[in-house]
A and B are shown apart, each in its own frame.
Chain A
């Protein structure tokens, strides 16, 4: 891929030179430029189709992608936000509520990132505190009571590493969600739309169907963190991104992702209108499928999904 990148850089330079030359000399070179630009576009497509883990991560983190609240408002109708964990406070990094999907009520939850610095500070960059996970569990238990399916939108760098978060039991809040979601008596769809960051992402990831957007990633640790811990050098994050196999495509090959939802060419960030219908279609289809399973089957299936994760060998 590095070759393609180098070729493209050369080509872009060449096009610029040609244009400059044509202007300076007053020579008509339109056809030549056009041919080269076509070639460049093709290379760009090729590059996009073969992005590595690090490049995907940059796309997944792109601030122009839709956030949870965008999805709630654009894919669903009649979204009613619900707030608070009833214990400490309302965590703005994790949002939720109820909404209609094709006329059926669902509970929606998601990590909420901001679009600019000011918004991001207010949203804590989409990194929840324990009260965020506790709010999520409260809303999920509410969904169970009213037999509503749950759809979780996952996009977070991770749980927030801070004093208050530890004091109030970040570990306990995440762990409880994992345990309770495993037996929650209603269908749960888990949809990684951007950055699936470790335990903070996992706390919304237990369910019956794991979907990922084409440019989303999901990892046990950020590549930066992995490189710093393992190789004592955060600048090796690119290598860590490759080693962690965090792309939706890698995870699909491992069989942990049920479906990759395609994004428009070059990514969802610049073309919401083109991308959102495919997302809605996938959500409606899976909700429908899961909705037809008897509860007993649904829960057995969920346990099998959870308990079959991982590979080992057992010698005689």
Chain B
């Protein structure tokens, strides 16, 4: 078993961008945007409002006050405990392509001056899938937030549980949810920000359990993927099905917040719960 596989990874300051080209085409309206303009507009299409998927470091960059974010538990790496065929190679490739060690970055920083613990799922790393490292980093994050009485935010962007870790991936849903139960006992705020896409085991655990659930516009959010549902029921899905606005309408989200207003919204919510923790 590859228990002591040495991992090669870039330093934690590597901040790869999802859009490395000079220009990017909007997947929704097909308008071409220069990278510089897109960045200025927080990776939102200026023509149709489409929210591009962000890498974890891009998310941190637009959310936290300059130089305030300090990463935690950066050295946790996955093991191929099941000896699942191809998993070691897949991990190595994901690390190389993303410059990340795993599918989540956790840390503490300030949002418009308000301190917050945050976990940011990285869709650029194996589709942000949750294995034991993601689960453990979230559990540690929530534990710290709980003991310090500082609010926690998790930005989800994930296809769900990582099947290469088998039953252990499934159990991370239980582990993270149990950690939230302990955070509840301590009376500390937890905000879940659901971004495109948030599905499967991530959706059916910590992502749905926020004191406040916030969706980004147009984000795909659901337990089963649309293709699986379509195959099961044998009919086309209604327009807008499983999008943020649909979930808001059906009572699963508190609000849908455009990216430009997200930082201010988070800061306001954090301010409401300042000095959290039961005394």
0/1 interface trace, chain B 217-261, chain A, CB 8 Å (1 if under): 000011111001100110001100110000000111000000000
Determine whether B77 belongs to the interface, using a CB cutoff of 8 Å to chain A: yes
Do B85 and A175 have beta carbons less than 8 Å apart? no
Shortest distance between the CB of B83 and any CB in chain A (Å) = 8
Known: A166-B223, A206-B174, A306-B174. A230 touches B163 (CB 8 A): yes
Q: Could you say which of B163, B168, B172, B252 contacts A229, with CB atoms under 8 Å apart? A: B163
Q: Could you say which of B73, B161, B178, B208 contacts A307, with CB atoms under 8 Å apart? A: B178
Known: A311-B132, A312-B79. A171 touches B178 (CB 8 A): no
Q: Which of these binds chain A: B31-39, B40-48, B92-100, B197-205?
A: B197-205
Q: Could you say which of A161, A170, A218 contacts B167, with CB atoms under 8 Å apart? A: A218
Shortest distance between the CB of A250 and any CB in chain B (Å) = 9
Do A256 and B77 have beta carbons less than 8 Å apart? no
Determine whether A147 belongs to the interface, using a CB cutoff of 8 Å to chain B: no
Determine the residue in chain A with the shortest Cβ distance to B161.
A220
Chain A residues with CB under 8 A of B252 = 169, 171-172
A234 to B169, CA, bound (A): 21
**Interface size on A (CB < 8 Å)?**
54
A166 to B175, CA, bound (A): 23
Determine whether A82 belongs to the interface, using a CB cutoff of 8 Å to chain B: no
Interface residues of B (CB under 8 A from A): 3-4, 7, 73, 75-79, 81-82, 84-85, 131-133, 135-136, 139, 161, 163, 165-175, 177-182, 184-185, 200-201, 203-209, 221-225, 228-229, 232-233, 237-238, 241-242, 250-252
24 A–B contacts from the bound complex (CB under 8 Å): A159-B204, A162-B224, A162-B229, A162-B232, A168-B250, A169-B208, A175-B173, A175-B205, A179-B177, A182-B181, A202-B170, A202-B174, A219-B166, A221-B161, A243-B84, A244-B163, A254-B168, A303-B178, A306-B171, A310-B136, A311-B168, A312-B78, A312-B133, A315-B7
